[in-house]
Structure 1
């Protein structure tokens, strides 16, 4: 059980949340501005940006839950 003692749970939760926010923002702005300025995108870029939005939401919600609540409780 000593392998988790040096983890900074608060820092990991904050970094994970902000990474999720960044992924969401980049994906959403890429979808909006890309279609507005460049016109239609190829299918692979639509999938990439949509996946970035979805992963950003999941990471932003689950990272504080896992690193801020669950891991400190089971440590």
Structure 2
């Protein structure tokens, strides 16, 4: 018998990808809408949107690789 609980890697990979995608979309839309309607965005808002874009890209690419490929192979 297995000592660890069975983890549904497919669900984690999909959810991680969609979380990353949603962060990327929020960052891009917030940046575009912010610069279009409220031209002088404060520095902290601009940093927040750019950070959300980079975090979304990182999570969106790494999550399927880790949960879809690496962890099932080492289990």
Same fold (TM over 0.5): yes
Q: Where on the TM-score scale, by shorter chain, does this alignment land: which range?
A: over 0.9
Q: For structure 2, list consecutive stretches of 5 or more residues without a partner in the other structure.
A: none
Q: Which protein is richer in helix relative to its size?
A: 1
Cα deviation per residue 1:3-32 (whole Å; 9 max; x = unaligned)? 2x4210000000000000000000000001
Scaled by the length of structure 1, what TM-score is found? Answer: 0.94
Task: Give RMSD over aligned pairs.
Answer: 1.0
Q: For structure 1, list consecutive stretches of 5 or more residues without a partner in the other structure.
A: none
Alignment length (residue pairs): 74
Scaled by the length of structure 2, what TM-score is found? Answer: 0.94
Structure 1 segments of 4+ aligned residues over 6 angstroms from their partners: none
